[in-house]
């Protein structure tokens, strides 16, 4: 009889513990979506202007460099203007959600381009250059904690997103990415982004100044994106239109 | 043995690429991004070309009637393009000056310098801008043709990405953005004067023309509606669209309706008459990028303003009769009349009614960086003559662009490309930006 009572008691205790664990679980687990939004905001303000240099490095060390002025507003509007080299100067790109255009001053009217193409060649494609917030394009599948880092697994919200899956390694303390792997639906690695040289850009923005990328599809090649200046700035929606593209220089 | 081990370790350390030992540092010099109120840029180009002539073709006879046996024509072309701008407050002035130089062993040297663009702008707000001066407006979505580019000079379909000369206009851009399926609306009204020294080659003199373009970004589709009226040319109306169906597949189209379009046509006896009527032009095209970086652009263009096959045939016959008269009697009257008709429209690029254009370009094949081979083919689907243009482009040296291009014209007698003055050509273009 006493054995029976003991068993019942153990069951009750286990049940209570299980209920407590279930109730406490949401508080203990990391909220992936919230974490991803934090990472986005730590990388850049929602609306900003920035100056960047893109360097494509060939296996023999030969380099090709591009300087860009970029403006972004809200979740889906980005525009970039090429400042150098002379052959590209005046070209501009615009992204409105999934739509992307390239304006070449001589050719005239903006032409539609795709996210997987690259207006600069090298490993960075148009989606990397005209990047939106990760939380806008991806859902968080799960978050793991590995030492000082979080490992986030992301899945694209739609087929129009450049990479079907992302694996983000983020520094726990700084809530900044250290490495992002971009994968296809079939789990094939397309490229890896390495975030380096965390720097204070002012206005409370402390983020990596250098993003390096390599790809198994371009063995031996490397592309680097250096952010020189980035600051919060508000823009009118009209700036992010085809008609405004030839006038982006006036925002500098 | 230990010494051998240390030596091996030293060799191993030396063989590790420097990048893995020392972190390479990257910097962006802030002087590179400093904005100045003025800017200056330029482009120089050398383009030697060799043409294989067809001495029995209509256009050869029209141009080289006094030199009936020429086989090869060598040509040296040069171009200098300088541009500069100055900006103060909400005002900006911009000018682009173009000089074309040409030397060939037939016509010898020629030079033409002209402002492609020269205008002043005022931008009191991000949503409002006014431009006054010489400007290219570049309407339309087509790559090789733009039937809706009512206020621009026609493109050269052989080289559609070349800079073009503008017209003197007064224009404005008014932009509004919205949330929802209609994201952008912009309106660009244009005043287009045609007088003795202003745009005098556009059409009927002493007319002040009005044109306009209304643009929408609606359900992720670019849509433009445009018009031009005022008497300089017959009134015309049109629309275009462009849309990405998938991330690597874009479609576009244009339609233009011209009221009271006039063209001079010839009958079999060579008598000319002016035909007046409505003209409809349309273009449908696509741009597709494969997973292996091959870009395909395909366009079909049709215009009822173009010449029928019989009308072109009558024109070629007129040249032939004029040439025969010249060789027999030295009488130039027939050829002079043909030259006049050629200038009125028969010699313009793609003067007939239906064309198919296809361009395939492969980015960096066989891992050869900055190297893009392309193949362009334009077919006149009325007479099935064609112009085939293979080319290779190399952009590996910063600011330098090298393009080697050949052209092969295919077609029998009385066909558009078969009656051109040359049957083949080869050219090298070296362009440097600074």
Residue B244 neighbours by CB under 8 Å, 6+ apart: A98, A99, A112, A114, B220, B250
Query: A228 and B33: CB-CB below 8 Å?
Result: yes
Whether the bond into B148 is cis, omega within 30 of 0? no
Confirm if B408 and B375 have CB atoms less than 8 A apart.
no
* Mean pLDDT of all residues belonging to chain B: 90
CA distance B140 to B148: 6
Confirm if A71 and A235 have CB atoms less than 8 A apart.
yes
Collect all residues of chain A within an 8 Å Cβ-Cβ radius of residue B433: 85-87, 89
What is the residue whose two structure tokens read 């083919």?
B377
Query: A69 and B33: CB-CB below 8 Å?
Result: yes
CA B72 → CA B104, B319, B385, B406, B410, distances in Å? 11, 22, 22, 15, 18
End-to-end CA distance of chain A: 85
pLDDT digits (tens, 9 = 90+) for B26-61: 777 777 788 889 999 999 999 999 999 999 999 999
Confirm if A223 and A56 have CB atoms less than 8 A apart.
yes
* Closest by Cβ to A108, choosing from B32, B138, B398: B138
Query: B222 and A108: CB-CB below 8 Å?
Result: no
**Residue B8 above 50 pLDDT?**
no
pLDDT band, residue B331 (cuts 50/70/90): confident
**Residue B302 above 90 pLDDT?**
yes
What is the residue whose two structure tokens read 């050829």?
B335
Counting beta carbons within 10 angstroms of the beta carbon of residue B23, is it exposed (0 to 12), middle (13 to 18) or buried (19 or more)?
A: exposed
**Residue B433 above 60 pLDDT?**
yes
Confirm if A93 and A103 have CB atoms less than 8 A apart.
yes
Residue A140 neighbours by CB under 8 Å, 6+ apart: A32, A33, A35, A36, A152, A153, A154
pLDDT band, residue B1 (cuts 50/70/90): very low
pLDDT digits (tens, 9 = 90+) for B189-212: 999 999 999 999 898 999 999 999
* Closest by Cβ to A106, choosing from B140, B161, B244: B161
pLDDT digits (tens, 9 = 90+) for A111-142: 888 777 777 777 788 888 888 899 999 999 99
CA B253 → CA A118, B84, B148, distances in Å? 24, 34, 10
Q: What is the sign of the dihedral through the CA atoms of B49, B52, B55 and B60?
A: negative
CA B299 → CA A102, A138, B285, B415, distances in Å? 20, 36, 4, 21
For the question of whether the overall pTM of this predicted structure is more than 0.80, the answer is yes
pLDDT band, residue A12 (cuts 50/70/90): confident
Q: Which of B385, B378, B387, B307 is nearest to B345 (CA)?
A: B307
**Interface membership of B244 toward A (CB under 8 Å):** yes
B277-280: long-range pairs with CB below 8 Å, 24+: B278/B304, B279/B303, B279/B304, B279/B305, B280/B255, B280/B256, B280/B304
**Interface membership of B161 toward A (CB under 8 Å):** yes
DSSP three-state, residue B246:
strand
**Interface membership of B100 toward A (CB under 8 Å):** no
Residue of B nearest to A68 (CA): B33
Residue B37: Cβ within 10 Å count: 10
CA distance A126 to A93: 9
**Residue B191 C-alpha from the chain's centroid:** 24
For residue B32, the model assigns a pLDDT of: 77
Query: B26 and A58: CB-CB below 8 Å?
Result: no
Of A24-28, B132-136, B341-345, B423-427, the one with minimum mean pLDDT is A24-28
For residue B9, the model assigns a pLDDT of: 46
Query: B184 and A243: CB-CB below 8 Å?
Result: yes
**Interface membership of B32 toward A (CB under 8 Å):** yes
Query: A229 and B136: CB-CB below 8 Å?
Result: no
pLDDT digits (tens, 9 = 90+) for B101-151: 999 877 778 999 999 999 999 999 999 999 999 999 999 999 999 999 999
**Residue B169 above 80 pLDDT?**
yes
* Closest by Cβ to B184, choosing from A104, A241, A250: A241
CA atoms within 13 A on the CB side of A36: 25
Query: B177 and A116: CB-CB below 8 Å?
Result: no
CA of B39 to nearest chain A CA: how many angstroms apart?
Answer: 11
Give the pair of three-digit tokens for residue B351: 């003067």
**Interface membership of B222 toward A (CB under 8 Å):** yes
For residue B291, the model assigns a pLDDT of: 80
DSSP three-state, residue B43:
strand
Give the pair of three-digit tokens for residue B255: 């339609």
Give the pair of three-digit tokens for residue B270: 């060579």
pLDDT band, residue A105 (cuts 50/70/90): confident
Collect all residues of chain B within an 8 Å Cβ-Cβ radius of residue A243: 173, 175, 184, 186, 188, 215
Confirm if B94 and B119 have CB atoms less than 8 A apart.
yes
Of A120-134, A149-163, A167-181, B243-257, the one with minimum mean pLDDT is A120-134
Q: What is the dihedral of CA B351, B357, B363, B366, to 10 degrees?
A: -110
CA distance B203 to B208: 11
For residue B67, the model assigns a pLDDT of: 84
**Residue A34 above 80 pLDDT?**
yes
DSSP three-state, residue A52:
strand
Confirm if B50 and B423 have CB atoms less than 8 A apart.
no
CA distance B35 to A37: 33
DSSP three-state, residue B307:
strand
For residue A24, the model assigns a pLDDT of: 52
CA of A179 to nearest chain B CA: how many angstroms apart?
Answer: 16
pLDDT digits (tens, 9 = 90+) for B149-161: 999 999 888 888 8
Cα Rg for chain A, rounded, in angstroms? 23
Query: A108 and B175: CB-CB below 8 Å?
Result: no
CA distance B149 to B168: 15
ipTM of the complex model: 0.78
pLDDT digits (tens, 9 = 90+) for A46-70: 999 999 999 988 888 888 899 999 9
Give the pair of three-digit tokens for residue A150: 């979080």
**Residue B186 above 60 pLDDT?**
yes
Chain length of chain A: 252
For residue B16, the model assigns a pLDDT of: 42
Query: B217 and A210: CB-CB below 8 Å?
Result: no
pLDDT band, residue B430 (cuts 50/70/90): very high
pLDDT band, residue B333 (cuts 50/70/90): confident
* Mean pLDDT of all residues belonging to chain A: 86
**Residue A21 above 70 pLDDT?**
no
For residue A19, the model assigns a pLDDT of: 65
Collect all residues of chain B within an 8 Å Cβ-Cβ radius of residue A86: 41, 399, 433-434
CATH superfamily of A32-251: Lipoprotein localisation LolA/LolB/LppX (2.50.20.10)
């Amino acid at each position: 009889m006493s054995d029976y009572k003991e068993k019942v008691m153990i069951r009750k205790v286990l049940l209570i513990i299980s209920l407590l664990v279930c109730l406490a679980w949401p508080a203990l687990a990391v909220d992936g979506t919230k974490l991803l939004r934090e990472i986005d905001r730590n990388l850049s303000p929602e609306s900003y202007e920035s100056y960047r240099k893109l360097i494509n490095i060939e296996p023999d060390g030969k380099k090709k460099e591009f300087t860009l002025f970029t403006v972004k507003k809200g979740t889906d509007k980005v525009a970039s203007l090429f400042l150098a080299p002379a052959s590209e100067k005046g070209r501009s790109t615009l992204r409105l959600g999934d739509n992307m255009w390239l304006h070449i001053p001589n050719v005239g009217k903006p032409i539609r381009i795709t996210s997987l193409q690259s207006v600069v060649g090298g490993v960075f494609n148009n989606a990397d250059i005209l990047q939106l917030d990760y939380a806008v394009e991806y859902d968080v599948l799960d978050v793991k904690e590995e030492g000082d880092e979080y490992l986030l697994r992301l899945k694209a919200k739609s087929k129009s997103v450049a990479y079907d899956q992302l694996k983000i390694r983020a520094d726990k303390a700084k809530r900044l990415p250290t490495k992002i792997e971009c994968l296809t639906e079939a789990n094939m690695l397309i490229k890896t982004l390495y975030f380096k040289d965390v720097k204070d850009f002012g206005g409370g923005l402390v983020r990596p100044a250098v993003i390096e990328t390599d790809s198994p599809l371009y063995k031996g090649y490397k592309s680097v994106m250096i952010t020189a200046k980035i600051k919060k700035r508000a823009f009118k929606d009209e700036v992010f239109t085809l008609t405004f593209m030839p006038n982006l220089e006036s925002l500098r | 043995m230990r010494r051998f081990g240390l030596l091996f370790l030293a060799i191993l350390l030396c063989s590790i690429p420097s990048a893995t030992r020392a972190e390479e540092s990257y910097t962006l010099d802030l002087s590179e991004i400093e904005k100045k109120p003025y800017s200056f840029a330029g482009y120089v180009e050398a383009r030697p070309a060799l043409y294989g002539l067809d001495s029995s073709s209509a256009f050869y006879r029209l141009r080289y009637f006094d030199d009936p046996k020429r086989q090869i024509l060598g040509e040296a072309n040069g171009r200098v393009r300088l541009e500069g701008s100055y900006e103060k407050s909400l005002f900006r002035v911009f000018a682009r000056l173009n000089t074309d130089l040409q030397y060939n062993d037939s016509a010898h040297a020629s030079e033409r310098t002209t402002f492609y663009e020269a205008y002043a702008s005022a931008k009191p707000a991000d949503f409002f801008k006014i431009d006054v001066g010489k400007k290219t407006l570049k309407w339309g979505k087509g790559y090789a043709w733009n039937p809706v580019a009512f206020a621009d000079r026609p493109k050269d379909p052989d080289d559609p990405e070349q800079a073009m000369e503008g017209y003197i206009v007064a224009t404005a851009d008014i932009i509004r953005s919205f949330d929802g399926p209609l994201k952008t609306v912009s309106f660009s009204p244009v005043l287009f004067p045609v007088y003795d020294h202003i745009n005098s080659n556009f059409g009927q003199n002493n007319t002040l023309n009005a044109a306009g373009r209304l643009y929408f970004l609606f359900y992720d589709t670019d849509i433009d509606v445009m018009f031009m009226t005022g008497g300089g040319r017959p009134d015309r109306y049109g629309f275009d669209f462009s849309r990405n169906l998938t991330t690597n597949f874009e479609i576009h189209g244009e339609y233009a309706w011209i009221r009271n379009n006039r063209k001079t046509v010839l009958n079999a006896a060579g008598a000319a008459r002016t035909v007046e009527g409505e003209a409809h032009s349309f273009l449908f095209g696509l741009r597709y990028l494969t997973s292996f970086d091959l870009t395909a652009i395909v366009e079909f263009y049709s215009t009822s303003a173009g010449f029928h096959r019989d009308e072109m045939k009558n024109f070629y016959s007129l040249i032939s009769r004029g040439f025969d008269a010249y060789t027999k009697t030295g009488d130039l009257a027939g050829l002079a009349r043909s030259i006049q008709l050629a200038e009125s429209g028969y010699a313009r690029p793609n003067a007939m009614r239906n064309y198919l254009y296809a361009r395939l370009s492969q980015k960096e094949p066989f891992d050869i960086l900055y190297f893009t081979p392309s193949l362009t083919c334009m077919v006149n689907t009325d007479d099935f003559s064609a112009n085939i243009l293979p080319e290779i482009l190399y952009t590996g040296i910063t600011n330098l662009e090298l393009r080697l291009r050949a052209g092969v014209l295919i077609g029998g007698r009385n066909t558009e490309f078969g009656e051109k003055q040359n049957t083949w050509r080869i050219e090298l273009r070296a362009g440097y930006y600074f």
